[in-house]
Amino acid sequence: KTASKATATLINPDSSDLQATETLSNALGLTSRCMFFNVVLDKAGLSPASFDLITCISVLEHIPQDKAAVEIMWSLLRPGGKLILTV
């Protein structure tokens, strides 16, 4: 069986929350496969059509420009990519 090459890009403008996520990632031995951005989504400098999967779990309702955020997420997905949202 081939080892997974999956990576994660984690974006959170709340630095203390992001630090807790990074600490957990390190404890699980996953930090080398993760990139952490302490910015809002539109400031992360991510390339369009570069993600197979984007999740936004219980965050969208806290973003004043929620429609713009969803549009950015859609633009970041590759063709056939999945966007999973919860509110």
pLDDT at site 4: 72
> Which letter, b or e, does each residue of 9-20 get, where b requires 16 or more Cβ atoms within 10 Å of its Cβ?
eebbeeeeebee
pLDDT at site 28: 96
pLDDT at site 5: 83
pLDDT at site 1: 53
pLDDT tens across the length of the chain (87 residues): 555 789 999 999 999 999 999 999 999 999 999 999 999 999 999 999 999 999 999 999 999 999 999 999 999 999 999 999 999
